[in-house]
Amino acid sequence: MSFGRLERSQRAAPMSEINMTPLVDVMLVLVVIFIITAPLLASSIKLDLPQSEAAKPGDAANFVTLVVDKSGQAFLNDQPLELAQLGQKLAQTAKSNPQTEVQLRADAAVPYGRIVQVLGTAQKAGLSRIGFVAEPAIKPELH
């Protein structure tokens, strides 16, 4: 009896490449999620800002955001405050840096008198650089 070598068939070589399709799918889903959530992170207060043709993004280095919603409630950096509390917070900001700009975002439905009260509080606190935030005007397309 002769014992010969048994022939072995060649096995398939191990796959050494990474399948990129699942990775690309996951990344696309994440991109879509970020695109949808990014505008929501800017401000959690719903406003209908007035429109102006002269509206342009500000480039102030040091600023605080002052928001007045439809009901007339004032928010400083997305925190609701009464006028007395607002004055105290703005005075603290003015002490640390008197050149801080107040960027006012007020709903179009807010009465002018309420805006004057809020602006007076900011000026009394020592902040005189005030910027009004508005949406760019939508120009009608000519066909």
Cβ(62)–Cβ(99) below 8 Å: yes
Residue 45 falls within a domain, yes or no?
Answer: no
Q: Which residues of the chain have pLDDT under 70?
A: 1-9, 39-61, 139-143
Alpha-helical segments (H) within the chain: 21-42, 83-96, 112-124
- For residue 131, the model assigns a pLDDT of 86
Say how far apart CA 119 and CA 7 lie, in whole Å. 91
Residue 18 falls within a domain, yes or no?
Answer: no
Cross-strand partners of 66: 76, 104
Q: pLDDT tens digits for 7-26? A: 666 777 777 788 888 889 99
Q: How many domains, the chain?
A: 1
Residue 143 falls within a domain, yes or no?
Answer: no
Non-local (6+) Cβ contacts of 81 within 8 A are 74, 75, 89
CATH assignment of the domain containing 84: 3.30.420.270
Residue 98 falls within a domain, yes or no?
Answer: yes
Say how far apart CA 32 and CA 91 lie, in whole Å. 41
- For residue 44, the model assigns a pLDDT of 60
Non-local (6+) Cβ contacts of 121 within 8 A are 83, 86, 87, 90
- For residue 132, the model assigns a pLDDT of 84
Residue 84 falls within a domain, yes or no?
Answer: yes
What range defines the domain where residue 113 resides? Answer: 51-136
